[in-house]
């Protein structure tokens, strides 16, 4: 049975350069008894390169300062640690606006080969399929749509992962109820992103989501 790994990065975006991750969180969920059950979690701060500034807006939005990050491990070391936790495939990564997470993982691929070979599911694309016509598909809007409370620490990685997992569960249920999907392949068609590296072996086709 596939494990869904909801993942989120917080990052800094220096001018003219790709985003540099400064925090990651991941929540592993496995289908059990018709629902998703947590089987593990991981979170860590990451020290950015010395020439990447932490701006006042970053501090205001995330509450993460340069001083907090000074004692963190660099991203390469953190990604090695996270990747080492993925020992029981198959997996699907899940993220909101997953292209952002896909880009960060691609740039860290040498340090996280398992992650880099794992397909992603985008909850934003799932939401567009399940609830067409919403004014916005941002995470805050979906929390409001489903009546999920805004977490303390919004824009930190683990709080964002936890509410994204709640959104995922609602989207899977609603899509199943509407007959939009009942298999993992149908989810991949609706909202999948291909991994940056080819998996060592293809996943066995999962006949049902739960």
**Domain harbouring 32, CATH code:** 3.30.420.10
**Proportion of the chain in helix, strand, coil states, percent, rounded to 5:** 40, 25, 35
Q: Which of 9, 4, 39 is nearest to 22 (CA)?
A: 9
Look at residue 198 in the predicted model and tell me its pLDDT: 63
| Residues 6+ away with beta carbon under 8 Å from 129 | 175, 180, 190, 191
b (16+ CB within 10 A) / e for 10-29: bbbeeeeeebbbbbbbbbbb
| 203 in any annotated domain | no
206 falls in which pLDDT band (50, 70, 90)? low
Q: Assess if residue 15 is contained within a domain.
A: yes
User: Is 60 exceeded by the pLDDT of residue 204?
Assistant: no
In a domain, 198, yes or no: no
Domain assignment of residue 202, yes or no: no
Domain hosting 65: range is 3-193
The pLDDT assigned to 34 comes to 86
Looking at the chain, the whole-number percentage of residues with pLDDT higher than 90 is 87
205: left (phi over 0), alpha (psi -120 to 50) or beta: beta
pLDDT tens per residue across span 93-120: 999 999 999 999 999 999 999 999 999 9
Give a yes or no: residue 83 inside a domain: yes
- pLDDT(196) > 90: no
- What pLDDT, on the 0 to 100 scale, is given for residue 197? 72
Domain count, the chain: 1
Asked whether residue 91 is assigned to any structural domain, the reply reads yes
CA distances from 204 to 14, 62, 181 (A): 41, 39, 17
Per-residue pLDDT tens digits for 60-78: 989 999 999 999 999 999 9
Is 185 within the bounds of a domain?
yes
Matching residue, tokens 């090695």: 80
pLDDT at residue number 208? 62
């Amino acid at each position: 049975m596939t494990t869904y790994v909801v993942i989120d990065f917080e990052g800094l975006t220096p001018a003219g350069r790709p985003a540099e991750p400064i925090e990651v969180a991941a929540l592993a969920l496995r289908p059990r008894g018709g629902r998703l059950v947590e089987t593990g979690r991981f979170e860590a701060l990451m020290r950015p390169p010395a020439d990447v500034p932490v701006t006042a807006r970053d501090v205001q939005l995330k509450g993460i300062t340069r001083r907090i990050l000074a004692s963190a491990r660099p991203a390469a070391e953190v990604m090695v640690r996270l990747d080492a936790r993925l020992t029981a495939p198959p997996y699907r990564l899940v993220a909101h606006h997953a292209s952002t997470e896909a880009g960060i993982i691609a740039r860290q691929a040498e340090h996280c080969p398992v992650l880099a070979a794992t397909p992603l599911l985008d909850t934003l694309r799932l939401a567009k399929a399940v609830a067409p016509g919403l004014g916005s598909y941002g995470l805050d809007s979906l929390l409001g749509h489903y009546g999920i409370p805004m977490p303390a620490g919004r824009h930190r990685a683990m709080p964002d992962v936890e509410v994204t997992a709640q959104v995922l569960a609602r989207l899977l249920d609603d899509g199943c109820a509407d007959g939009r999907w009942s298999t993992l392949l149908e989810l991949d068609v609706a909202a999948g992103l291909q991994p940056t590296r080819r998996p060592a072996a293809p996943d066995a086709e999962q006949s049902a989501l739960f």
